[in-house]
Amino acid sequence: MGLQLDPRQPLHFVGVGGIGMSALAAILASRGFRVSGSDPRDNAVITSLRQSGVRIFTTQEAATISALLEDDGDQPLVVLSSAVPESNPEVQEARRLGLQLWHRSDVLAALIAAQPSIAVAGSHGKTTTSTLIATLLEATGRDPTAVIGGIVPAFASNGRQGQGELLVAEADESDGTLVKFEAALAVITNIELDHTDHYPDLDTLIATLQRFASGSGRLLANRDCPILSSRFQADHWWSCSSPEGVSYAAIAVEERGDGTLADFYEDGVRVGRFELPLPGRHNLSNAAAALAACRLEGVGFEELGAAIGQLQPPGRRFDCRGVWNGRIVVDDYAHHPSEVEATLQMARLMVTTGRSSLPLTPQRLVAVFQPHRYSRTAQFLQEFAAALSGADLVLVAPLYAAGEAPLEGISSEALAAAVRQQRPGLGAIASDDLNDLARLVAERSEAGDLVLAMGAGDVNSLWSRLQAIPDSAAGVLVA
């Protein structure tokens, strides 16, 4: 028996500012639950939670649990994420007092089970795809509830309480907990080995996604992914390669740096043409999945066609931060070789076609990449090097450990060396710290460059660090 949420029982989120935790806390607070959370961060997410009625503790200590018991009188249900260690003082105190402790995935599973839900999983594109589904449903008057692992521009939030019958959730596979979700419609975008800190091999990851699929009412999957097409039995397939033999297909007519013109097919029959304002073949696949999911929920294609023009990617997905001394600075969450390759291919399309939605037309690509986790970097060192070699200049940020212990021979310099080996004529430089990285960007880049900061760590601080560099430092090359 899974978690049964009771509005009479308060909930306390340890690390409530996390992208997955905050969405759940906000939705439950809007449903009338008494919600509290602890987080030392003070940012826009925490401010929004306070405004939603969530009680925020700025420290994590045993006294927080005592204060909740004294003030509420009821024992709270304590919610954790995989990022919260057992050594956390609040966790230790909650266990000492015999309180209920549940993983955030159990809370999300309870929400998914309570109403018709669409759960989106996959190695790449799940945040974007779930964002596009939720945006299309909202734009066509379905008013969905959404729990997304990124900021949805249409909602200005990662969590939204809607009044419609549908819930859209991102199903994260990183820790295997998505097997708890029993959605009416499961969507799987693609499968590649990742999260090697949790999955020892690809077969284990595949087995986990198969359990997720089998627990759903229906499965919508990407036939263009060879692992999905060979190892899964889907109720419905989509493709961006061919309309033959699939329920839904989006076939590109024209690909540009500012979007894609495509034809949409259902059961091999062309039903219409749409203009997607997101460039790149990977975004076309994400949009095809979103359109297919909405069609399966009964939304007419004519309605969807009118709403497609409103689509925007979630936060940190090719997010233009601004122009610094003639350089366009973009932030992106890409942290797997396939994601890096797709992002650079999309950016290259902007250079070659001379069209983009950016403030300036980029002339060159400067890849600023931050390796994320020693385990992932070690597993995919050569693949990262191959993907990054598609840029005109590569700057490697300090490796973001995400709590992992160092591995011998794995470093930012090792990745830069691998890039230089794969493409000897390409400059690839590793930096010692983020301030040094910003200095390298200022010195090595040129006006007209697209500076693409990629990674799941703190490389997204590059824009603010560039602001602190005097304008006179831009373009000054050093030996």
324 plus 290 within the same structural domain: no
Mean pLDDT over 25-30 rounds to 97
249 plus 337 within the same structural domain: no
56 plus 154 within the same structural domain: no
CA distance 433 to 399: 9
In a domain, 108, yes or no: no
- pLDDT for 464 beyond 80: yes
In a domain, 478, yes or no: no
Q: What is the pLDDT of residue 477?
A: 46
Q: What is the pLDDT of residue 470?
A: 84
Q: What are the start-end ranges of the E strands in 195-326?
A: 218-222, 236-239, 248-256, 259-266, 269-276, 319-324
240 plus 377 within the same structural domain: no
CA-CA distances (angstroms) from residue 126 to 110, 211, 218, 241, 339?
A: 20, 17, 17, 20, 12
For residue 177, the domain's CATH number is 3.40.1190.10
In a domain, 275, yes or no: yes
- pLDDT for 478 beyond 80: no
Rounded percentage of the chain residues whose pLDDT exceeds 70: 99
φ/ψ of residue 23, rounded to 5: -65, -45
Residues 6+ positions from 235 with CB-CB distance below 8 Å: 218, 219, 220
CA 288 to chain centre: 18
Mean pLDDT over 276-296 rounds to 97
Q: What is the pLDDT of residue 476?
A: 53
28 plus 132 within the same structural domain: no
- pLDDT for 472 beyond 80: no
Domain span at 31: 11-102
Mean pLDDT over 201-213 rounds to 97
The domain tally of the chain equals: 3
In a domain, 356, yes or no: yes
Q: Residue 120, exposed/middle/buried by CB under 10 A (0-12, 13-18, 19+)?
A: buried
446 plus 427 within the same structural domain: yes
For residue 444, the domain's CATH number is 3.90.190.20
In a domain, 110, yes or no: no
81 plus 149 within the same structural domain: no
Mean pLDDT over 224-237 rounds to 98
Which is more confidently placed, 473 or 362? 362
- pLDDT for 235 beyond 90: yes
Condensed to tens digits (0 to 9), the pLDDT of residues 309-367 reads 999 999 889 999 999 999 999 999 999 999 999 999 999 999 999 999 999 999 999 99
State the chain's mean pLDDT as an integer: 95
Condensed to tens digits (0 to 9), the pLDDT of residues 431-442 reads 989 999 999 999
Condensed to tens digits (0 to 9), the pLDDT of residues 7-21 reads 999 999 999 999 999
446 plus 463 within the same structural domain: yes
Which is more confidently placed, 374 or 316? 374
CA distance 170 to 158: 10
In a domain, 6, yes or no: no
140 plus 88 within the same structural domain: no
Please give the full DSSP string across 396-452, using - where no structure is assigned: EPPPB-TTPPP-TT-SHHHHHHHHHHHSTTS-EEE-SSHHHHHHHHHHH--TTEEEE
